[in-house]
Amino acid sequence: MEKLKKRWGIDSNFQIAVIIIVFAITGSTSAKLAGPLTEFLGLNTETTSAWLYWSARILLIFPVYQVLLVAFGWLFGQFAFFWSFEKKMLDRLGLGFLFKG
């Protein structure tokens, strides 16, 4: 735990627990919301090839996850941690320019 606290720059085990809970809730929620979003876009398993449907669904999960991660982080009082985490993740993906002034 100490290694994780040092890496993330946090102080308490409680904060680690909250962060892990936020990651779990965000992952589950974004996966769940991807289904209705694909339906909204007119893609479903009956009329769309499996490759297209699942590719679109997985691609939809990514932006939904990014938004929900910061939102749930804010709700759980960890906005600063997740905002920093979000910026680092997008920077590693080559999308860091979105947050540069």
Highest mean pLDDT among 5-9, 11-15, 60-64, 71-75: 71-75
pLDDT tens-digit readout, 23-70? 999 999 999 999 899 999 888 888 889 899 999 899 989 889 999 999
Question: Coil, helix or strand for 48?
Answer: coil
pTM of the model: 0.81
Contact 78, 22 (CB under 8 A): yes
Residue 75 structure tokens: 């709700």
Neighbours of 69 (CB within 10 A): 22
pLDDT at 45: 86
b/e sequence 1-28, b meaning 16+ C-beta within 10 Å: eeeeeeeeebeeeebeebbeebbeebee
